[in-house]
Amino acid sequence: MREIVEEMRTQLAAGSGGALVTIVRTTGSVYRREGAKMLCLPGGRLVGSISGGCLESDVYEASQDVVAQQRPILAGYDTNSENDNVWGLGLGCNGTVEVLIEPLDWWRGAAGRALFDALSRHVEAGERCALVTAFGAGDGHPLPGIQRVLVDAHGAVVGEPASAFEEAELDAAVDLLVNERVRPSRKLRVGAREVFVDVIVPPTPLLVVGAGHDAAPLVRMARELGFVVTLIDSRERFATRERFPEADFALCVRPPDFASKVSFAGSPAVVLMTHNYLVDREILGQILVSDAPFTYVGALGPHARTESMLRELREEGLALREDKVAQIRTPIGIDIGAESPAEIALSVLAEVLSVRNGRRPVPLREKKGKIHLPEANVEKSS
């Protein structure tokens, strides 16, 4: 999501043209789920993705008409047919995908800019929000227009007057927004019309503590995965953007000042990898007495090393929060036989993702049932 928001900010400030594509409904086996987005920009440039590459070119062609006519459309792709060559695309996924293709010029208008600015504020603050889009009572292609509001977890509304949406529609949005799943976006029929509730999940902050050579692949891969990465070290010559150009932030912080100088906002994931026992212990102690929530806390090194730190911290009289102690992952990472720094980074980030997404890592061939989380069955009446 972060690359979409960043690119939209650039595009909205420049000229005209371009289209935003969002998956609004899927069934069966598909590559991306509801809420996945792609920008179709002038010159054939694409940002983001809505499939593994099988839909992008066709959707881009459709986006050209959308931009020319300045009218959004809903486009459907069905690969459940016995003939695999649906529309000549040869998708072969045995599922359906419905996408909303809309001109970026809608977002350049007053209503769109107000919503985008509100969305950006929520994302920057690490707060979930939901875009609620109404498609009208029919299934016309193209759509007659778009009605859209932004809703936060408290039910506050930005956008169209509240009268443009039924109370049941906004309630349904809040219900999905507070759901614990990572991205419970859904197209729902609420009363007489369909609405798409697009839950916007801010990127997870990742605090990489330690600027050794093994931190470089971790920072690089984490940025590619969409984390907001802060690299922290007490050595000024190590904690630099020159050494870690992929990091969003590089901070030089003394260990005793860690909690006062480093933001814990947004439920960050933390990876301790300074290779210095005393530094790790000092920082771990500050994390374990904090009231802030953490998505993940991992300490590089053997289990006995972390247990020794915990014992010494308790002996010093620190009132460690037991819920956070139980959260510590050590040794960190998924067992994939990792040895090199890049392999270890992959192992660590796989564990961070699994914890964040509430999954227990298993080979997909051994997984019983659906790969993706079950669809929400939300049906409300006005």
Please write the tens of the pLDDT for every residue from 315-352: 999 999 999 999 999 999 999 999 999 999 999 999 99
Is residue 150 predicted with pLDDT exceeding 90?
Answer: yes
Report the run of H or E that residue 234 belongs to, with start and end: none
The answer to whether 23 and 98 are in contact (CB under 8 A) is yes
Query: Domain 205-356 maps to which CATH number in 1.10.10.10, 3.10.450.50, 3.40.50.2300, 3.40.50.720?
Result: 3.40.50.720
DSSP secondary structure letter of residue 380: B
Is residue 372 predicted with pLDDT exceeding 90?
Answer: no
Which has the minimum average pLDDT: 41-50, 76-85, 120-129, 316-325? 76-85
At 380, the pLDDT band (50, 70, 90 cuts) reads: very low
E strands, 257-346, where?
269-272, 296-299, 328-329
Give pLDDT, residue 356: 92
At 211, the pLDDT band (50, 70, 90 cuts) reads: very high
Residues of the chain with CATH 3.40.50.720: 205-356
φ, ψ (nearest 5 deg) of residue 77: -130, 125
Give pLDDT, residue 202: 87
Q: Say how far apart CA 279 and CA 183 lie, in whole Å.
A: 36
Give pLDDT, residue 377: 37
Give pLDDT, residue 194: 84
Give pLDDT, residue 180: 59
The pTM of the full predicted model, rounded to 2 decimals, is 0.82
At 136, the pLDDT band (50, 70, 90 cuts) reads: low
Give pLDDT, residue 214: 95
Largest CA distance in the chain: 71
b/e map 170-182, b = 16+ CB within 10 Å: bebbbbbbebeee
Give the pLDDT confidence of 53-65 residue by residue, as tens digits: 888 899 999 999 9
Which has the minimum average pLDDT: 17-31, 136-150, 178-192, 300-314? 136-150
The residue ranking higher by pLDDT, 88 or 224, is 224
Which has the minimum average pLDDT: 81-85, 123-127, 229-233, 266-270? 81-85
Report the run of H or E that residue 76 belongs to, with start and end: strand 73-78
Which has the minimum average pLDDT: 23-32, 238-247, 349-358? 23-32
Average pLDDT, the chain: 87
Tokens 């914890």 found at: 355
Give pLDDT, residue 181: 60
Which has the minimum average pLDDT: 91-95, 192-196, 210-214, 371-375? 371-375
φ, ψ (nearest 5 deg) of residue 84: -70, -25
Which has the minimum average pLDDT: 68-82, 128-142, 146-160? 128-142
Give the strand pairing for 249-252 and 157-159. Answer: unpaired
Is residue 80 predicted with pLDDT exceeding 80?
Answer: no
Q: Say how far apart CA 325 and CA 337 lie, in whole Å.
A: 26
Give pLDDT, residue 279: 97
Is residue 93 predicted with pLDDT exceeding 70?
Answer: no
Give pLDDT, residue 178: 81
